[in-house]
Amino acid sequence: MRKGHDQVNLFKKLKIADMSIRTKLILVVFLTSAIIFSLNLFMYQKVNQTIGEIDNVYVSNVSLNELSDTLAKVHNSMYEYLNTKNPDSLKNYFRKEQDYRELISQLHVNATDNEMLLMEKNINVMSETYLDKMSETLQAKQGRNIEKYREGYGEADQLFGYINEYIYTLNNMQFKINSDNYQILLVSQGYLEMTSSAILVAVMLVNLFIIALWTRNIIRPLGQLAKTANEVAGGNFDADHLEVTSGDEIGVVSKAFNTMLQSIRDYIVRTKESMEKERVMKEKELRMETHLKDAQLRYLQSQINPHFLFNSLNAGAQLAMMEGAEKSCLFIEKMADYFRYNVKKVHEDSTLEEEVCTVDNYIYILNVRFSGEIQFEKRVDRRAFQVKVPSMILQPIVENSIKHGLREIDWDGKISLSIMKQGNTIRISIRDNGRGMTPEKISEIMAGAVEPDENSMDSTGIGLSNVIARLRLYYGCEDTLAIFSDGEGKGTEVVIKIPLVQELPDEEGTEEDV
């Protein structure tokens, strides 16, 4: 039972909540109007009842007046008959007598302590006596007993007076009571007006309250919707979901809004997820690239492994030493140092000091080969000696300067190496006074378009483009190396700028060598 009752309640609840706003408003107006209307109906009924009572007030007076009138007609028609013996009067008399008897038959007949009913009874009995007396008088008249009918009429006339007096008195009594009743009715009418006005005012107030409450319930979700929409518009996508308690238009809109809000949230979450995924992917890609570069570096370094030569040179140096040829021995040792450096440093970074040393060895070798043709000048800040750099970067540049700059020139070839601290960088400059380069050539080299001459017997095998590529990979920066030339015959300068990751030692020292 209980469950069923709950279900009915739930059903009702759902039913009202699911109604459209229009229906709800109509329901509110209808209900409140119905209350006022039913109250009005009730009041009208009361007013009608009161009016009915007012009508009844005078009915008794009217019937008494009728009684009095009929009695007068009875009496007059008898008088006329006695006076003229007109058969019409007699007929009239009988007719009126009949009417009168009917009227008095409605009167009270028993003795009672009610003054008015007692008067009715007396009128009734006196009327009977009167009619009997009239009847006797009539007989006497018809029997021509003049004395008797005169006397009879006299007595009847007296009774007529008494009855009229009674009717008059009774009428007055009734009128007085009726007037009192009328006063009561008027007073009660006043009270009815007052009460109904008070009730109507109260009902109006309560109705207003109900309407206010009801419409507030209907409208409130709209306010909530506007508030939450503003919040969302302001960028707060975590705003609370709207409460959906009804199935009306606002309920539908609120549901749609909630769905939209949820969709936006879901979308934001998805976007964040995909951005995160993209970031991770990029990171992995970068890591892969690094690995690749590393591989390429190792590959490039492996290209310049001169292991066999190094072993041969060691043997040559020992031979020269045994033969007492010191210069040859020094030359071969320099050669050996040069190639040892290559062997040793092929897999790891080196310092600037080692790089400069390798350049020294190389210049020495070349000058032995070419009888001191090349002037080498260096200006080095010793503090930069311990700076880590990729191995085999300076020697190929110097080699390139000699091979392409200083060869086949009519003037003395000269190469200057300078290593200076410049701001947060180490500036390494290798300058020659050779043939120089055209800007187009420089661009080609910088773009890596010039392939190193693999078949050149006079080369270490590491071209400028390799150096450029390795520097770029190592420092992750495109402009680590730059080539400057003022044009044909004006020489070339290659500048490497290495970012300084740690402070250089304080002591100052510059090494110069020619």
DSSP 352-410: HHHHHHHHHHHHHHHHHHTTS--EEEEEEEGGGGG-EE-SSSHHHHHHHIIIIIITT-S
10 is a site residue for other proteins (CB under 8 A): no
Piece in contact with other proteins (CB under 8 A), picked from 125-133, 136-144, 322-330, 493-501: 125-133
| Beta-carbon contacts of residue 187 (< 8 Å; ≥ 6 apart) | none
Closer CB to other proteins, residue 27 or residue 450? 27
Distance CA 147, CA 345 (A): 184
240 is a site residue for other proteins (CB under 8 A): yes
Considering only residues 475 to 514 of the shown chain, the ones binding other proteins according to CB under 8 A are none
Closer CB to other proteins, residue 62 or residue 109? 109
Piece in contact with other proteins (CB under 8 A), picked from 19-27, 208-216, 357-365, 371-379: 208-216
Minimum distance, C-beta of residue 446 to other proteins, in the bound complex (Å): 31
SS3 of 144-210: the string is CCHHHHHHHHHHHHHHHHHHHHHHHHHHHHHHHHHHHHHHHHHHHHHHHHHHHHHHHHHHHHHHHHH
366 contacts 331 by C-beta, under 8 angstroms:
no
The one among 110, 371, 455, 502 contacting other proteins by CB under 8 A: 110
Cα Rg of the chain (Å, integer): 70
Distance CA 103, CA 83 (A): 26
Considering only residues 28 to 67 of the shown chain, the ones binding other proteins according to CB under 8 A are 35, 39, 42, 46
Piece in contact with other proteins (CB under 8 A), picked from 65-73, 235-243, 307-315, 422-430: 235-243
With CB under 8 A as the rule, give the number of residues binding other proteins. Answer: 71
The one among 112, 302, 303, 386 contacting other proteins by CB under 8 A: 112
25 is a site residue for other proteins (CB under 8 A): no
Closer CB to other proteins, residue 255 or residue 421? 255
Q: Which two tokens stand for residue 65?
A: 């007046």
Distance CA 124, CA 424 (A): 145
Closer CB to other proteins, residue 292 or residue 477? 292
Distance CA 382, CA 390 (A): 18
- If you search the block for the tokens 């009361």, which residue do you land on? 46
Closer CB to other proteins, residue 124 or residue 391? 124
Distance in angstroms between the alpha carbons of the first and the last residue of the chain: 116
What letters, b where the CB count within 10 A reaches 16 and e where it falls short, cover 332-356? Answer: bbbbbbbbbbbeebbeeebbbbbbb
The one among 14, 51, 213, 295 contacting other proteins by CB under 8 A: 213
115 is a site residue for other proteins (CB under 8 A): yes
DSSP 22-47: HHHHHHHHHHHHHHHHHHHHHHHHHH
The one among 125, 292, 319, 477 contacting other proteins by CB under 8 A: 125
DSSP 45-65: HHHHHHHHHHHHHHHHHHHHH
Rounded to 10 deg, the angle between the 464-475 and 439-446 helix axes is 50
Q: Which among 407, 17, 75, 454 has a CA at the least distance from the CA of 248?
A: 17
Q: Which among 337, 425, 354, 360 has a CA at the least distance from the CA of 391?
A: 354
Closer CB to other proteins, residue 91 or residue 220? 220
Considering only residues 378 to 437 of the shown chain, the ones binding other proteins according to CB under 8 A are none
Q: How many CA atoms lie within 13 A of 221 on its CB side?
A: 23
SS3 482: strand
Minimum distance, C-beta of residue 343 to other proteins, in the bound complex (Å): 36
- If you search the block for the tokens 């020139």, which residue do you land on? 409
26 is a site residue for other proteins (CB under 8 A): no
The one among 22, 241, 291, 347 contacting other proteins by CB under 8 A: 241
CA distances from 325 to 329, 332, 335 (A): 6, 11, 15
Closer CB to other proteins, residue 66 or residue 243? 243
344 is a site residue for other proteins (CB under 8 A): no
Piece in contact with other proteins (CB under 8 A), picked from 205-213, 362-370, 408-416, 426-434: 205-213
Minimum distance, C-beta of residue 213 to other proteins, in the bound complex (Å): 5
Minimum distance, C-beta of residue 96 to other proteins, in the bound complex (Å): 20
Distance CA 435, CA 26 (A): 102
Closer CB to other proteins, residue 94 or residue 209? 209
The one among 48, 65, 84, 114 contacting other proteins by CB under 8 A: 114
203 is a site residue for other proteins (CB under 8 A): yes
Piece in contact with other proteins (CB under 8 A), picked from 18-26, 118-126, 349-357, 465-473: 118-126
Closer CB to other proteins, residue 194 or residue 449? 194
Closer CB to other proteins, residue 153 or residue 339? 153
Distance CA 109, CA 111 (A): 7
111 is a site residue for other proteins (CB under 8 A): yes
Considering only residues 257 to 316 of the shown chain, the ones binding other proteins according to CB under 8 A are 258-259, 262, 265-266, 269, 273, 277, 280-281, 284-285
Considering only residues 142 to 201 of the shown chain, the ones binding other proteins according to CB under 8 A are 158-159, 162, 165-166, 168-169, 172-173, 177, 180-181, 184, 187-188, 191-192, 195-196, 198-199
Minimum distance, C-beta of residue 342 to other proteins, in the bound complex (Å): 36
319 is a site residue for other proteins (CB under 8 A): no
SS3 477: coil
